[in-house]
């Protein structure tokens, strides 16, 4: 057993304070200071006691391809299904999955049943999180519209007082421009962002797959790129208006998946608009060719009609909203991360029961159970030279913290002496095979089941307490 494995094995039980932990000769990445390199880290009584950066002979043989220590990841977008659909996921199973994925903070979407449109539902979510014993921090968005019905504003002020971190009707876009205008103004006065799922539903009625060659060959109804770009353009125009009256108005666009939409955000940022956005691991690593049974990453050999395929066609595990896009769109997602147009990586973790997925493609629920495979997909992109490790880790840590506005308790954590230990340790040189059993999530709806992914999480520590231990 290696020294690190022995250290991991004796660190304690999930939920317990990490009393003493010493990680020697690892590659430390601290996006908050922009520093990375060989080092050692000591945790005592849940607090980072020492961070020693190594140099010269001491650093020999330590590089960024082995054991990596980074601050705990923050997920801006996850669906844990409780209350209402506990067969698909509970707060407890979702938190276990988050910790397995290296996440120490999750922001839950309010499309539960009932929707998180009033403080009492937030109370239920918090009670379930406390009862789970997981130290992973749970945050939640409140609904934009009452009952997520898209007609009148939810009680944004009451929800803000209760502690929501923003407002979203995700699962659905805010269809009414008038409602979005009011929401941006009111949320802006409360100091919170509106998180929109940008989709012009008039273009996606009955849509099944990204509009393009794959959809045509498979006979699936097209889901045009313009449905996203036109929604983003509308949102940005409204934001520009509202901001003139409410300087605090902030818009966050989640799971952008197309080159034109990302280009609009790039231009809006250059013009000084207070907009942020995220992209998902699946949109940057997979393409619509996966619907055709192709199982290559977006940067590998492209699919051609008639290609010998590696999986069955129309697998519902790849049905997701927005849909998996083209090779060029996936490249645009990675480029947006690299140049800062995309502020964060969000998983859009969307667990479903087999009942919701074991149906005809067009009838299957949208979503991928993705919080445990996010790091692996990102490292696959890094290994292929398609993404830098530093940007990937920044977009999992300080990027999302900034979107949340740095407000306590989301102050950006770092590998800093005196800070609560909130970190993930993973072995980039090791891989793991995704199986239904290996996923802590109740949602086994992942197109990556059966596949080996790089980067095994060894240890996740959240707020000084053990959240996940691979041993």
Q: Which residues bind Zn ion (CB under 5 A)?
A: 170, 197
Nearest distance from residue 319's CB to Zn ion, in Å? Answer: 13
Nearest distance from residue 197's CB to Zn ion, in Å? Answer: 4
Containing 455, the helix (H) or strand (E) segment is strand 452-462
- Both structure tokens of 3: 């020294």
70 or 368, CB closer to Zn ion?
A: 368
Residue nearest to Zn ion (CB): 197
Nearest distance from residue 172's CB to Zn ion, in Å? Answer: 8
Among candidates 396, 423, 350, 444, which has minimal Cα distance to 135? 423
**Cα–Cα distances in angstroms (integers) from residue 393 to residues 115, 308, 389, in the given order:** 32, 35, 6
- Residue 466's SS3 state is strand
Nearest distance from residue 73's CB to Zn ion, in Å? Answer: 19
| Burial class, 139, CB count within 10 angstroms (exposed 0-12 / middle 13-18 / buried 19+) | buried
77 or 428, CB closer to Zn ion?
A: 77
170 or 372, CB closer to Zn ion?
A: 170
173 or 376, CB closer to Zn ion?
A: 173
Name 53's bridge partners: 39
Residue of 85, 200, 343, 348 marked catalytic:
348
Q: How far is residue 461's CA from residue 467's CA, in Å, rounded to a whole number?
A: 5
109 or 459, CB closer to Zn ion?
A: 109
Nearest distance from residue 10's CB to Zn ion, in Å? Answer: 41
Helices 177-190 and 226-245 sit at what angle, rounded to 10 degrees? 50
Nearest distance from residue 321's CB to Zn ion, in Å? Answer: 6
204 or 460, CB closer to Zn ion?
A: 204
Helices in 177-309 by DSSP H: which ranges?
177-190, 213-218, 226-245, 259-270, 281-285
Q: How far is residue 183's CA from residue 444's CA, in Å, rounded to a whole number?
A: 35
Question: Is 87 a known active-site residue?
Answer: no
Look up tokens 């393409």; give the residue.
287
With beta carbons less than 8 A apart as the criterion, state whether 115 and 147 touch.
yes
- Residue 356's SS3 state is helix
Nearest distance from residue 148's CB to Zn ion, in Å? Answer: 12
118 or 170, CB closer to Zn ion?
A: 170
Positive or negative torsion for Cα 311, 312, 314, 316: negative
The alpha carbon of 446 is separated from its chain's Cα centroid by a whole number of angstroms, namely 15
Nearest distance from residue 22's CB to Zn ion, in Å? Answer: 42
With beta carbons less than 8 A apart as the criterion, state whether 194 and 184 touch.
yes
DSSP string for residues in 268-284: HHHTT--EEEEE-HHHH
- Both structure tokens of 403: 């979107």
170 or 235, CB closer to Zn ion?
A: 170
Query: Phi-psi category of 146—alpha, beta or left, where left has phi over 0 and alpha has psi -120 to 50?
Result: beta
Among candidates 322, 295, 317, 335, which has minimal Cα distance to 453? 295
Q: Are strands 73-78 and 67-71 parallel, antiparallel or unpaired?
A: unpaired
Helices 327-339 and 259-270 sit at what angle, rounded to 10 degrees? 20
Active site residues: 348
């Amino acid at each position: 057993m290696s020294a690190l494995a022995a250290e991991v094995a004796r660190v304690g039980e999930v939920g317990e304070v990490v009393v003493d932990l010493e990680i020697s000769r690892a590659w430390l990445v601290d996006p908050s200071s922009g520093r990375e390199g060989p080092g050692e880290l000591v945790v005592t009584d849940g607090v980072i006691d020492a961070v020693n950066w190594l140099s010269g002979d001491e650093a020999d043989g330590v590089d960024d391809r082995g054991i990596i220590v980074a601050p705990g990841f923050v997920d801006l977008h996850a669906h844990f299904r409780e209350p209402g659909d506990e067969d698909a996921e509970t707060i407890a199973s979702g938190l276990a999955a988050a910790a397995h994925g290296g996440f120490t903070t999750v922001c839950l979407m309010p499309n539960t049943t009932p929707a998180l449109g009033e403080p009492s539902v937030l109370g239920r979510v918090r009670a379930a999180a406390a009862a789970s014993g997981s130290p992973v921090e749970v945050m939640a968005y409140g609904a934009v519209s009452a009952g997520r019905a898209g007609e009148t504003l939810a009680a944004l002020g009451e929800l803000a007082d209760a502690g929501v971190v923003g407002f979203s009707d995700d699962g659905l876009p805010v269809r009414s421009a008038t409602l979005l205008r009011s929401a941006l103004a009111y949320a802006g006065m409360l100091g919170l962002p509106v998180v929109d799922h940008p989709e012009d539903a008039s273009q996606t009625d009955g849509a099944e797959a990204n509009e393009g060659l794959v959809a045509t060959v498979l006979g699936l109804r097209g889901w045009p790129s313009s449905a996203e770009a036109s929604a983003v353009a509308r949102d940005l125009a409204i934001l520009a208006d509202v901001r003139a009256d409410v300087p605090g108005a902030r818009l966050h666009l989640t799971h952008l998946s197309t080159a034109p939409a990302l280009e609009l955000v790039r231009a809006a940022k250059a013009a000084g608009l207070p907009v942020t956005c995220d992209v998902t691991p699946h949109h940057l690593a997979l393409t619509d060719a996966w619907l055709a049974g192709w199982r290559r990453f977006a940067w590998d050999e492209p699919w051609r009609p008639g290609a010998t395929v590696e999986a069955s066609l129309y697998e519902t595990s790849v049905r997701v909203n927005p849909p998996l896009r083209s090779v060029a769109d996936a490249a645009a997602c990675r480029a947006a991360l690299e140049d800062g147009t995309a502020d964060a990586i969000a998983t859009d973790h969307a667990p479903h029961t087999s009942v919701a997925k074991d149906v005809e493609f067009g009838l299957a629920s949208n979503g991928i159970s993705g919080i445990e495979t996010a790091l692996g997909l990102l490292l696959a992109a890094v290994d292929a030279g398609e993404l830098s490790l530093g940007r990937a880790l920044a977009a999992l840590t300080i990027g999302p913290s900034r979107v949340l506005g740095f407000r306590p308790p989301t102050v950006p954590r770092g590998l800093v002496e005196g800070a609560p230990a909130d970190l993930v340790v993973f072995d980039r040189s090791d891989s793991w095979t995704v199986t239904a059993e290996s996923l802590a999530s109740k949602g086994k709806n992942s197109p990556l089941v059966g596949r080996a992914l790089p980067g095994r999480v060894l240890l996740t520590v959240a707020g000084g307490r053990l959240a996940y231990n691979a041993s």
